[in-house]
Structure 1
């Protein structure tokens, strides 16, 4: 088991449809660390940290999202552990304010 870090940007109809809450719940259920937030450009950005296969599975789920969402694209980039510092203190996975 090796821990990986991936930063993901999701575009489409992903704001105002419960996408952030869905990401947070799914990531917590899978035992992932990280965060999710809306961006002012209408996209959703997330950081996933955990086992390679679990992170890969979470990214695949992001292509679907909750039923009210319409995902047009999911862009995945490698990330580092330093981005975990953006989480709220004491939380394994956080919903962050819009940037």
Structure 2
């Protein structure tokens, strides 16, 4: 993959997104798409994620994040550019 094809995005996801397997589902979706990054719950009830990979795969993940797993009720997703994560793979981090 060329560097110009690679993007990284920071997502802040709000709504009913904790207690509905959002993080585990996000990891499954990211791994399916070949993305690296991480996801974690935040103490304010939101979910935060950084995803990196091909532009098309990242865009697909962002679209997925707007609805998440079946029991989630996503109200808002803020998407911003991010630095590429240093690790490979996709991690579930502890709550911040």
TM-score computed with the length of structure 2 as normaliser: 0.92
Where structure 1 has 5 or more consecutive residues not aligned to the other structure, the ranges are: none
CA distance in 2, matches of 1:21, 1:38: 11
| Equivalent residue pairs, number | 93
Question: How far has the Cα of 1:46 moved from its partner?
Answer: 0.4
Q: Secondary structure at the match of 2:94?
A: coil
2:67 aligned residue: 64
1:8-56 superposed Cα distances (whole Å, 9 cap, x missing partner): 0000000001000000000001100000000000000000000001100
Q: 1:8 aligns with which of 4, 8, 11?
A: 11
For 1:92 and 1:57, locate their aligned partners in 2 and report how far apart those are by CA, in whole Å. Answer: 17
Aligned Cα RMSD in Å? 1.1
Divergent runs of 4+, >6 A:
none
Gaps spanning 5+ residues in structure 2: where? Answer: none
Q: CA deviation at 1:64?
A: 1.0
**1:80 and 2:83 equivalent?**
yes
Indicate yes or no: 2:49 matched with 1:49.
no
After TM superposition, the score normalised by the length of structure 1 is 0.90
Distance 2:33 2:8 in 1: 15
